[in-house]
Amino acid sequence: MNSIIAFLIQFNQTLLAKIEELLIIIETLTPGKKDFDPKSPKYKQFSVDKPPVVREAVRQDYRELIRRELELFGKTVKPVNSRGGKVVPESVSCPFCDAPHKYIYDNSGGRGQFLCKVCHSTFFEKQTVIRPISFYCPYCGLLLSKRRERKGFNVHRCSGYKCPFYKNSLAALSGDEKLEYQKHPYRFKLHYIYREFVTDFFAMDIKSMPAGGVNFNFRRFSPHILGLCLTYAVNCALSTRKTQTVLREVHGVVISHTMISRYVKTASAIVSQFTLDFDYRPSNFLAADETYVKVKGINHYVWFVMDAIKKSITGFSVSSERSLAPCMLAMRRAFAKFREFPGSALKFIADGYPIYKLAQLQFSMNGMDFPLTEVAGLTNDDPVSTEYRWVKQVIERLNRTFKFSYRAVNGYGSFDGADSHVAVFVCYYNFLRPHPYNYNKPLNHIPELDECPNMPAKWQKLIELSQLHLLNTRRKAS
């Protein structure tokens, strides 16, 4: 028996030695390993270019343009003298100025593109309407062409090979990258690209509340039982089934875990708007990050924006995709807390995920320009990461606190359940949870809660204040 074990050990050592030799051979035959350079054009698909030049299309009258040409330059616009038999059909007219076919060139040799001699616009034969706005490259002024239609946005690209953006990107390629670009051009982003989002992110309701729940007309139970349910489920981070067990074995209250879940959902619907409308008076240091949760075994995402100085959560959202819309929703909720938007004085810190750069672009196009600081990676490899690493660590600590409360539920059963849990967690974190930063007191002081003797009573009072806030909000709206 001992001889067999000794033989197997020796055999395994021989295999490990052969594997190590093969790895050395593979490393020798592999081309030199390059360090990751985020500025390389090969990795520009992870970056966001500056916004394009936007111009509104104005429909003109070709007669007025001809008259103006005559007044300014003393010569009129003559009809096109077609050559080579390429005559424009009489049915074709310019969609930009209504010029008839006699003022139009065949601009592509019969392939469908035309050029108006009066307004100098290009169009196609089937183009009867013009786009209200057009996007132009900010580097060369060329009209961007729509290349792809994605879910929620369109991709526009500058196709000019004389564009400074393309020339600089091409010149930045190394010798090996140029060879790779010739074989696999789709791996590189050399042309200027703009993503036009078709969703109006500033029309989204930033005060939407989760639907569903139960009426708080207590027949079998009392408001105190509601406070106990929220204390165990939210403060103590227990699942609804463990909360059910504690209430039965400690307090002698027989209640189903489904009713506890309904209590949490209804409480979240009530306190959400109070949490969003509270005057946090945030500082100019905001940090943003996203973390994942499981809903029926599928990855979903929770977005947090917090005040890095005062530690309050000022914006949040839950989404099934790691896309721009929930990121914008969380950021809009955070920016709504400012009485006056700080603009360039704002310090907004996030990781290197490009979605925050896209969000910054959307805000700047709507008059809310602010600088974005990206703290990438886990080590301080640059001065920016060294200076702002502490801000990133603050929101990472928030993610760990949230994951502690999420771990008990072991994944959510529905999207509404995830949305409700996040809403009550934010309310608890901002108003009820003792923080060492604030000498083991809640981050935001509510005087009415000082009179409450225990945590269930504080939950009841907080729900009462939220209900009064909802009534006042509806009364003002009407």
**What domains are defined for the chain?**
42-54+132-197 (no CATH), 58-124 (no CATH), 274-477 (3.30.420.10)
Tokens of 438: 């604030």
How far apart (Å, rounded) are the C-alpha atoms in residues 291 and 401? 12
- Find the mean pLDDT for residues 106-122: 81
Q: What is the pLDDT of residue 84?
A: 64
Range in 27-31, 33-37, 134-138, 326-330 the model is least confident about: 33-37
Q: Alpha carbon of 193 to those of 46, 123, 365: distances in Å? A: 12, 22, 16
Q: How sure is the predictor about 447, in pLDDT bands with cuts at 50, 70 and 90?
A: very high
Cβ-based neighbours of 458, under 8 Å, separated by 6 or more: 227, 432, 449, 452
Per residue in 125-165, pLDDT (tens digit) is 766 555 667 788 888 888 888 888 877 778 888 888 889 88
Q: What is the pLDDT of residue 336?
A: 92
Is pLDDT larger for residue 101 or for residue 43?
A: 101
pTM: 0.71
Find out whether 265 and 420 touch, Cβ atoms under 8 Å.
yes
Q: What is the pLDDT of residue 34?
A: 46
Tokens of 64: 């007025």
Find out whether 192 and 137 touch, Cβ atoms under 8 Å.
yes
Q: How much of the chain exceeds pLDDT 70, in percent? A: 86
Alpha carbons within 13 angstroms on the beta-carbon side of residue 1 total 0
- Count of other CB atoms within 10 angstroms of residue 89: 10
Q: Alpha carbon of 183 to those of 158, 177, 305: distances in Å? A: 21, 10, 43
- Find the mean pLDDT for residues 107-121: 81
Residue 305: beta bridge partners?
288, 315
